[in-house]
């Protein structure tokens, strides 16, 4: 029996070496982003192995996968070439592919198109809220073949895009700070610690109007949010990484980032603990889409489909706002489609611009359907680490931010709160402002909320929009005021009381009667108010 086992082991080793050699010989060296070739740099010293057995090598945080030395003969049921992703990490193809076709096609019709190239493909899911997009099991025998099949599919005229469901790296846009409301300069800047008095989001004045509605949900796309944190207003989340029992909570000791991000949006107010988020009456909902590297470097691994899955789910539960405080090492047409479809359906999206200080913004904040947010210091300038450039939409406080941490010894420190830096925290502050506006005016679309935020932002840099600061620093009260100009008394309804209040202000010469903001109170203000009153909420 010992000899038989030895012979079987040698046969398996030889088979593994043959499979690995075939992968390297047939790897195409590129994938398609939409229909354009995207060249990839091969890591010839390693290979990705999917195996149900224990494997000696670097365990990937994506369940079942390992990175091993290419010269090894590790037994596995699927091998994939490893490439360098956009952040310098590892990326490789799984056996699944993401395919986009005409939204009018049924799953059977889409599968028939795919079968012309990949006859063994099967449908895993058709996304209900991302029209025409499918996740399919490709039937490819290894990652090289899956990449080739996806490339051939992408070249078909009736296919909008096709790509392997790649594993890729990423990281949160966070810079931890050493270790509560008085320290929250972004909400109320009194000049604490040398800050510029009044350089804040004017949140306190906004709270006199609206603390946030529990019906407004902000999706936190991240490494998980502690579900039992006593100071985060949230509903039960969801895990998209293959561990549903987590319900959107952290899965390992390094999954800390999401809890800090969520606090910026919906940390509770007036409960005698901690600080507060910018929209404390609204609720966050966690979508755990990334698995942190266990060295706690801030990096993580994920697949393309996890983000698409999260956005599709968000639409199904009525999410109005999403936040993604992360930088992706890969770009995906399926993720682009998910952001675009949910934006068209009325959602508004925010993402961190990035922390490298470069004059370009990171993906996915670089998408036209996502609002990119840069970080600001308490002194009134853009943070030195913050990325900026074409496509930047807004700026928000992002240095020395006090927010929630995982409770007890878990998290960034030993307490339940942390002081942190990064565009990771500027982005959820902006998202929270959008959540406040939706709370007060639930009938608005995401596009209308974005317009209100643009009109009300505190201008910085060059007059008007500029690539250094976007539209400027987000303003909580200003966005509420701009979202529905005819609601003159900001009570959430347009009625005769608004007309009476405007006439009273106009008659007394109050500054609020300068409705068209031309610095003069005259009959044109009256005409503009009447026009707005007649048309309703339309910022």
Q: Is 239 in the active site?
A: no
E-strand stretches of 15-88: 30-33, 36-39, 41-50, 58-59, 65-69, 78-84
Exactly one of 19, 85, 90, 222 is catalytic; name it.
222
Supply the Cα-derived Rg of the chain in whole angstroms. Answer: 25
324-361: burial string, b at 16+ Cβ within 10 Å, e else:
bbbbbbbbbbbbbbbbbbbbeeebbbbbbbbbeeeeeb
CB 460 within 8 A of CB 374: no
Greatest alpha-carbon pair distance for the chain in Å reads 102
Could you tell me how far CA 287 lies from the centroid of its own chain?
10
CB 421 within 8 A of CB 385: yes
Which residues face 78 on adjacent strands? Answer: 50
Could you tell me how far CA 119 lies from the centroid of its own chain?
35
C-alpha–C-alpha distance, residues 104 and 160, integer Å: 13
C-alpha–C-alpha distance, residues 222 and 64, integer Å: 21
Q: Is 535 in the active site?
A: no
User: In terms of DSSP bridges, do strands 30-33 and 36-39 run parallel, antiparallel, or are they unpaired?
Assistant: antiparallel
Q: Is 222 in the active site?
A: yes
Helix (H, G, I), strand (E, B) or coil at 526: helix
Exactly one of 66, 257, 349, 440 is catalytic; name it.
257
Exactly one of 424, 427, 439, 456 is catalytic; name it.
424
Asked if the peptide bond before residue 364 counts as cis, ω within 30 degrees of 0, the response is yes
User: Which residues participate in catalysis according to the annotation?
Assistant: 222, 257, 424
């Amino acid at each position: 029996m010992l000899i038989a086992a030895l012979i079987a082991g040698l046969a398996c080793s030889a088979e593994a070496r043959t499979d690995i050699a075939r992968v390297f010989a047939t790897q195409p060296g590129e994938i398609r982003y939409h229909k354009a070739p995207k060249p990839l740099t091969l890591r010839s010293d390693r290979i990705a192995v999917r195996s149900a057995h224990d494997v000696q090598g670097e365990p990937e945080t994506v369940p079942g996968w390992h990175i091993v030395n290419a010269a090894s003969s590790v037994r596995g049921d699927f091998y994939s070439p490893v490439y360098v992703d956009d952040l310098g990490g590892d990326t490789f193809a799984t056996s699944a592919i993401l395919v986009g076709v005409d939204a009018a096609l049924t799953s059977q019709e889409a599968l028939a198109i795919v079968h012309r190239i990949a006859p063994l493909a099967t449908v895993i899911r058709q996304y209900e809220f991302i029209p025409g997009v499918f996740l399919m099991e490709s039937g490819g025998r290894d990652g090289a073949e899956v990449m080739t099949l996806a490339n051939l599919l992408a070249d078909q005229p009736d296919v909008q895009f096709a790509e392997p469901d790649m594993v890729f790296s990423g990281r949160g846009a966070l810079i931890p700070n050493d270790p509560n409301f008085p320290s929250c300069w972004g909400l109320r800047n009194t000049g604490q610690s040398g800050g510029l008095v009044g350089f804040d989001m004017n949140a306190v004045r906004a709270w006199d109007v609206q603390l946030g509605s529990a019906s407004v949900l902000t999706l936190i796309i991240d490494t998980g949010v502690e579900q039992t944190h006593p100071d985060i207003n949230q509903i039960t989340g969801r895990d998209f990484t293959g561990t549903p029992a987590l319900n959107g909570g952290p899965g390992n000791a390094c999954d800390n980032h999401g809890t800090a991000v969520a606090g910026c949006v919906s940390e509770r107010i007036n409960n005698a603990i901690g600080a507060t988020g910018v929209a404390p009456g609204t609720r966050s909902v966690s979508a755990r889409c990334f698995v942190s590297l266990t060295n706690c470097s801030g990096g993580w691994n994920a697949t393309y489909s996890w983000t698409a899955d999260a956005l599709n789910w968000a639409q199904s539960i009525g999410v109005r706002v999403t936040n993604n405080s992360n930088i992706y090492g890969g770009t995906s047409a399926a993720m682009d489609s998910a952001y675009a479809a949910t934006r068209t359906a009325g959602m508004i999206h925010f993402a961190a611009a990035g922390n490298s200080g470069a004059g370009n913004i990171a993906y996915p904040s670089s998408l036209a359907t996502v609002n990119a947010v840069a970080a600001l210091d308490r002194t009134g300038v853009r943070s030195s680490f913050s990325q900026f450039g074409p496509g930047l939409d807004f700026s928000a406080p992002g240095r020395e931010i006090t927010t929630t941490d995982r409770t007890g010894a878990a998290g960034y420190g030993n307490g339940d709160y942390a002081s942190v830096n990064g565009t990771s925290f500027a982005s959820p502050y902006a998202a929270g402002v959008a959540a406040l506006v939706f709370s007060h005016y639930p009938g608005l679309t995401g596009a209308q909320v974005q317009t209100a935020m643009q009109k009300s932002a505190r201008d910085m840099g060059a007059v008007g929009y500029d690539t250094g600061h976007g539209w400027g620093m987000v303003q909580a009260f200003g966005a509420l005021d701009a979202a529905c100009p005819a609601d003159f008394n900001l009570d959430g309804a347009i009625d005769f009381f608004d007309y009476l209040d405007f006439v009273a202000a106009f008659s007394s010469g109050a500054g609020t009667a300068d409705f068209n903001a031309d610095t003069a109170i005259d009959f044109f203000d009256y005409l503009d108010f009447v026009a707005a009153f007649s048309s309703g909420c339309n910022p």
